[in-house]
Amino acid sequence: MKVFLDTNIFLEYFEQRREYQSVAKIFDAIEDGNVKGVVTIGCVYTLAYLIRMELKRQGIHRPEQTLRLRSTLNTILSMVSTVGITHKRIVQGVNDTSFDDIEDSFQYQSALQSKCNALITINLRDFSNVDAGKIEIMSPTEFVNKYL
């Protein structure tokens, strides 16, 4: 099974929010090879920025900050594959009126293009207007309860 991980899945894990345990189970399934996880390169850009800002907030500066950032990103990239998106899909994402948040539309288009079985997100409402027949949109807990 191939799953697309919304950027917020990583934030849920790093900040140990409400669905932390379910996300941890998904990451375990990915590491065990039972699930294939994919993200967009945009997710990696966003995580690099957010992780750097968090390290800075913690008073960690360069070069230690860069070492920790690289370590964290290497851990993430060892678990998931990055996928691109075609120009045609970007245009579809920009013009998809099912979304108020165009970034979510890009993620959705990337998941479809990559032929993922499910898109896992914390913000189900952001995907509430999409065609459910194309891909399952699930919270981490829903995914764990159904597949793990």
DSSP string covering 5-46, please? EPHHHHHHHHTT-TTHHHHHHHHHHHHTTSSEEEEEHHHHHH
Please choose, from the candidates 27, 41, 15, the residue with its C-alpha nearest in 3D space to the C-alpha of residue 140.
27
What's the pTM? Answer: 0.91
Average pLDDT over residues 107-111: 94
Taking CA atoms, 110 is separated from 24, 58, 92, in Å, by: 23, 33, 11
- Predicted confidence (pLDDT) per residue in 50-66, tens digit: 999 999 999 999 999 99
CA 47/CA 79 separation, integer angstroms: 15
